[in-house]
């Protein structure tokens, strides 16, 4: 399972990219606004693209297909490899079909059910983004949707890539991988938490202390 960073923060993206563990970045209007409500979206998107170079989802904000397609044209004029992120609404599906027919990659976002994922796949979506955490917030089992989508995809031989989004903690990453998600897009905090283990830190401290002891003994022998 590939990992993307779900962020529009340059420092977070720079650091995660430097670790070599992410192959893309997903953004949305809320993440951009969190950085700065007056943010220059084109400039920030191009900065992110320069840092990561892999997948980069950029979301449209129109609610009609023509508007979405105009926005997609503009985003693609910034950089042609952009993945256009489109909300899972009927007008969005129309836009996805058109973009898919032009071989433009799309990421259908705000998917909360297997039927929405199926429709997005049939419209030609490259990625279907299932929002796990927001379903969990309602007391539902968000990962169940990812598992159902994987089952349906395997039974039917469907091709959209399954992207587990709205990830809130490291266990979501584990569960998404077990559920067969192709990609998990994680905010910076759970991604960094997922790299840590107290026994790793304790073990490293012991290795370093023992190495220091050895060096001290060697130094004593050399006198």
- Quote the CA–CA distance of 7 and 76 in Å, as a whole number: 20
94 labelled catalytic = no
Two tokens, residue 56: 């980069």
In degrees, to the nearest 5, what angle opens at C-alpha 177 toward C-alphas 176 and 178? Answer: 90
Nearer to ligand G3P, 60 or 165 (CB): 165
Binding segment (CB under 6 A) for ligand G3P, from list 11-19, 69-77, 128-136, 205-213? 128-136
- Quote the CA–CA distance of 212 and 209 in Å, as a whole number: 5
Binding segment (CB under 6 A) for ligand G3P, from list 42-50, 117-125, 131-139, 199-207? 131-139
- Quote the CA–CA distance of 187 and 177 in Å, as a whole number: 16
Two tokens, residue 145: 């949707």
Nearer to ligand G3P, 123 or 165 (CB): 165
Out of 29, 51, 113, 133, the only residue in the binding site for ligand G3P (CB under 6 A) is 133
Out of 3, 5, 12, 26, the only residue in the binding site for ligand G3P (CB under 6 A) is 26
- Quote the CA–CA distance of 185 and 163 in Å, as a whole number: 7
| 184 touching ligand G3P, by CB under 6 A | no
List interacting residues with ligand G3P (CB under 6 A): 6, 26, 28, 131, 133-134, 165-166, 185
């Amino acid at each position: 399972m590939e990992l993307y960073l779900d962020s529009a923060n340059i420092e977070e993206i720079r650091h995660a990219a430097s670790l070599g563990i992410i192959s893309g970045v997903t953004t949305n209007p809320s993440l951009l606004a969190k950085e700065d409500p007056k943010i220059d979206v084109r400039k920030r998107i191009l900065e992110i693209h320069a840092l990561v170079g892999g997948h980069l989802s950029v979301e449209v904000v129109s609610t009609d297909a023509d508007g979405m397609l105009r926005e997609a044209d503009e985003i693609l004029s910034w950089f042609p490899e952009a993945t256009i992120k489109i909300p899972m609404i009927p007008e969005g599906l129309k836009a996805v079909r058109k973009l898919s027919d032009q071989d433009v990659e799309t990421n259908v976002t705000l998917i909360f059910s297997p039927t929405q994922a199926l429709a997005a796949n049939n419209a030609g979506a490259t990625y279907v983004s299932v929002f796990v955490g927001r379903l969990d917030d309602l007391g539902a089992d968000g990962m169940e949707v990812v598992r159902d989508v994987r089952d349906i995809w395997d039974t039917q031989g469907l091709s959209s890539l399954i992207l587990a989004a709205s990830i809130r903690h490291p266990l979501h990453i584990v569960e998404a991988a077990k559920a067969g998600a192709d990609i998990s897009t994680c905010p910076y905090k759970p991604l960094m938490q997922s790299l840590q283990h107290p026994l790793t830190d304790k073990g490293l401290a012991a290795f370093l202390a023992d190495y220091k002891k050895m060096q001290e003994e060697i130094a004593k022998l050399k006198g």
